[in-house]
Amino acid sequence: MTERLFSTHDVRPRQELDGLWTVTLNDAGETAGAGDPRADTLSGGRTVRMLVPSCVESIPGAETFRGVARYERTFDAGSLLGPLDEERYLRIVCRGVSHMADVFVDGTPVAHHEDAFTAFDGVIEHRPGARTVTIDADNRFSERSALHRENDYYSYGGVTRPVVAELVPERYVDWVHVTPIRHDDGWRARVEVRIASCRERLGTGEPGTVDGIVLRLDGRDVRTLTAADATEDPFVYRCTLDVPDAVPWTPDAPHLTYVQAVLLQDGLKVDDLIDRFGFREVRVEGDKVLLNDEPIRFVGFNRHEDDPVFGCALPVEAMMRDLNILRDLGATSVRTSHYPNDERFLDLCDELGLLVWEEAHARGPEDEHNPRFLGQSLTSLTEMVTQHFNHPSIYTWGILNEYESNTEYGRSVYVPMYERLRELDPSRPTTSATCNFPTDICLDLPDIVSINIYPLWYSDAPVDELVREVLDFVRSSPGAGKPLIVSEIGAGAIPGVRDVRRSKWSEERQADILSEQLGHVCGLDEVMGVYVWQFADCRVTEGWFAVRPRTRNNKGVVDEYRRPKLAYETVQRAFEEYRDRHRVPTTRA
């Protein structure tokens, strides 16, 4: 078990805290939850042993659990041997806890987090010997968690992504970001390195100094950063490198380049961080999306991290299974609806050349305007971009699926989120999927216009009539002249329901509708990409949408066990015709 598909450190000692944990389940309403000052006194309830990562719902009898799950594990911190005998700290990294979390080490609080789909960490002074890590995972719905609510996908509970213990010096490498830059003579790389301070995080003193940071590309030293390379932010160092021998990353030849930042102190290598990136540039020019100055088009699927056995805690083998099915369908892209995905899935997309629309966590209008919504959305967005910045497969950042883009309140949320996106990463275009026609007032904000439409499913209008109405609106809006993507289109079918009358919810009706939908939109030259809703049937919150049979969104072209429906071959043929028409490279296995 690993948190990434490659080694992320040569110098920093680390131990993955996989394996069995002791888990105590406390039902909703009776106990303290994440963020509650009584959280450290949780006791009682049902106790089981569970692997990490996993979902609580995989425990027999806890399939609908809604409450606080306390995970506990003791490990030998003495096995983490670092290069310094002086000041060192224990860093606990959680890749994902659903959906609110408090983390303790030996009973001392070290971290609090409020979203299931991004990583977070905490630090505490290091000492050898046994250390006990406790994680309280709270998947209850409450106003404290504005992003998690009853929804058209399921909020699972538990420690759903890997957990790692690391030994770091007082100053350590927090992240490395590489922005590839095309120019006439080849490629450059703008590199930013952020150094974090444990003392500053704990409020125990002034940050220490850094002697230097050695940058390496594919194992070769290329530059040493010093205080002269520090920016206005003293924790961030920046430089631009000429890379004359750079090999570009493209979907049909996804070459990856490794970058390493090695921290020097008193002549010693005291810390490091390794990541991967690709030499590729994405930009918008008129109504086209360009990859390395070549127009790109794509066909693909919306995909939820959801499995009837694993919940949202898919092992990497299940991720690869999904990707093999997606490639067999002829998909060249995937949208991570509606939240950041496990970074191992993104690693696989990088290696396979599958383009990714990654989306910050937030979906649909709020029942009530929670005052925490904007702040938590901005945090989720910031963590997503910061943590996933280097993935070359990500061609666009998305936000706020089907949110209130037709209201002034909604616009007041869209504006600061787009501003934050462009501040964090001006190198990628931005988008948000809308279903608000003809009342959308926010199409001036994204770089790419994305529309969700369901002709013949939620609308009885003929496909060509509804699509023409939507396109006429876009052409007369501030979104005119921008690239256009059909971000959702599809129909539902209950697996195994076959009907010669081709009635609604039959597999025959789904195949018919998708054939007509895709036959029309894939034939439009102005449509740069099409995403079918959705890849696989997924679980939804019971009671959220009473018309969801089986308490699932049944619009998958495969069912929850990945068994093909009749629509599988329909979509496969439509995608092949689209790729042939537009000469789209395929990653098909």
Confidence of residue 231 (pLDDT cuts 50, 70, 90): confident
On the question of pLDDT at 88 being above 80, the answer is yes
Stretch (H or E) spanning 446: none
Closest CA to 89 of 137, 135, 51, 121: 121
In sequence order, the β-bridge partners of residue 413 are: none
Q: Is the pLDDT of residue 366 over 90?
A: no
- Cα separation, 15 vs 166, in Å, equals 6
In the chain, residues under CATH classification 2.60.120.260 are 14-167
Q: How far apart are CA 290 and CA 298, in angstroms?
A: 12
- pLDDT tens figures, 126-158: 999 999 999 999 999 988 999 998 888 999 999
Superfamily of domain 14-167: Galactose-binding domain-like (2.60.120.260)
Query: Does 359 have pLDDT greater than 50?
Result: yes
- C-alpha separations of 450 from 330, 430, 464, 511 in Å: 21, 10, 18, 24
Confidence grade of residue 35 (pLDDT, cut at 50, 70, 90): very low
Q: What is the mean pLDDT of residues 509-529?
A: 95
Percent of the chain scoring above 90 in pLDDT: 83
Strand-strand pairing, 394-398 and 355-359: parallel
pLDDT band at 29 (very low <50, low <70, confident <90, very high): very low
pLDDT given at position 30 = 40
Query: What's at 341, amino acid-wise?
Result: N
User: Where in the chain are all domains bearing CATH 3.20.20.80?
Assistant: 300-582
The CATH superfamily assigned to 300-582 is Glycosidases (3.20.20.80)
Q: Report pLDDT for 184.
A: 83
Top-confidence residue, 367 or 210: 210
- pLDDT attached to residue 82: 61
- 437 or 329, which is more confident? 329
Region 507-524: what's the mean pLDDT?
A: 96
Indicate the pLDDT class of residue 86, thresholds 50, 70 and 90.
low
Residue 207: band (very low, low, confident or very high) from pLDDT cuts 50, 70, 90: confident
pLDDT of 437: 87
Class of domain 171-282: mainly beta
Domain with CATH 2.60.40.10 in the chain: 171-282
Residue 2's pLDDT is 80
Q: What is the 3-state secondary structure (H, E, C) of 552-585?
A: EECCCCECCCCCECCHHHHHHHHHHHHHHHHCCC
Whether the predicted pLDDT of 245 surpasses 70: yes
| Interval 378-409: pLDDT, tens | 999 999 999 999 999 999 999 999 999 999 99
Q: Which residue has the higher pLDDT, 587 or 375?
A: 375
Please report which confidence band the pLDDT of residue 42 belongs to, taking 50, 70 and 90 as the band edges.
very low
How far is the C-alpha of 404 from the C-alpha of 399, rounded, in Å? 12
pLDDT number for residue 85: 54
Residue carrying structure tokens 């629509």: 567
Write down the pTM of the prediction.
0.94
The band of 476, judged by pLDDT with boundaries at 50, 70 and 90, is: very high
pLDDT tens digit sequence for 121-130: 999 999 999 9
